[in-house]
Structure 1
């Protein structure tokens, strides 16, 4: 299985931000997208995950193979940690949440209501969702926000375990994830050219 991105161009708010992006991600590989704030990293991830259409180009892998985690933790505050993970396991048709609890050190918190968790604990729970999806491609936007050094190490190990099982990880972050084996792609050289003055109004249509 491969994720092939070819000639990808994306827009935010109707304005092209990146164009001509090419890369291939293979089983067992991780790729980190880097670039200045506002360059379009999040837009690329959302497009690849099928949450918005591209302006041009191809994403050569079915969206059903991907699991996406954005800035929101994606948890229900009135449910316990165990119930949250069980909910996502049901959605994705998987059977066990034990590996996710262990991977993100949530076992002792399994029966705590999610709304009572700290920001870091909520983030760990949100990331633990990825484990229960059973999907081979993890698409992660700034995954370690709100995490301390110990939790970042847990995340890195979870990614390594996923890769060792033939999975893939595509991430955007400014933070060192402790994944020296991951490739890095600077998306800044793919910035879209500013629209001509005559075309500026048309960018909003």
Structure 2
């Protein structure tokens, strides 16, 4: 499997954020997207996720499920944790399992994998920022998808949470997955670097 972008140009609010950008990542590869604020790291992830249309260029996934689009084969973990405060931890994760479709994993086991199995019946409103992030990470496990798009994935995580997430990323890559992560911090895994230019 190979994820690639060719000659990508991003325009936001009439301003060209980046242009002529190429990238490639194969099964088992992690790509760390680095660069200053405003250089287009998040915009690139949103393009791959199908949430933003390139002004020019194309993005392709070779070797994936032919009947599924790239966004249907990718998880996008953004800055904000997409949770409903009134629902419990387990209800939030169950909602995402049903919404995303595909081959669902055991929700309780996914919560155990992020060390939240003690809080399954706790409303999400009571979670700390780090716990909310862990719950969002559990969504990556609840329905298997080959491409993980991670925007500052370790934000709000303490040292134990970061170490836990490193293990999950390594496991995903060992299964032939692909990771594209926008980050200002080292990911803790071996990764190729895609350096974005300074903001215009």
Q: Is the 8 A contact 1:92 1:134 kept in 2?
A: no
TM-score, normalised via structure 2 length? 0.90
Structure 1 runs, 4 residues or longer, greater than 6 Å off: none
1:144 Cα deviation (Å)? 1.0
CA distance in 2, matches of 1:160, 1:17: 31
TM-score, normalised via structure 1 length? 0.88
CA distance in 2, matches of 1:40, 1:145: 18
Q: Is the 8 A contact 1:89 1:96 kept in 2?
A: no
Which residue is equivalent to 1:144?
154
Q: Is the 8 A contact 1:65 1:135 kept in 2?
A: yes
- In structure 1, stretches of 5+ residues that fail to align are 195-205
Which residue is equivalent to 1:66?
74
Alignment map for 1:56-135 (pairs within 5 Å) = 56-61=56-61, 62-93=70-101, 94-135=104-145
1:184 Cα deviation (Å)? 1.4
Q: Is the 8 A contact 1:67 1:133 kept in 2?
A: no
The C-alpha deviation readout for 1:122-175, integer Å capped at 9, x for no partner, is 111112111113111010111111111111111111111111111111000101
Report which of the two has the higher share of helix. 1
CA distance in 1, matches of 2:21, 2:29: 18
- The secondary structure found in structure 1 opposite 2:28 is coil
Is the counterpart of residue 187 in structure 1 residue 196 in structure 2? Answer: yes
CA distance in 1, matches of 2:38, 2:109: 35
Tell me the number of residue pairs that the alignment of Structure 1 and Structure 2 aligns: 190
Which residue is equivalent to 2:18?
18
Q: Is the 8 A contact 1:66 1:137 kept in 2?
A: yes
CA RMSD after TM alignment: 1.4
CA distance in 2, matches of 1:143, 1:49: 16
Q: Is the 8 A contact 2:9 2:19 kept in 1?
A: yes
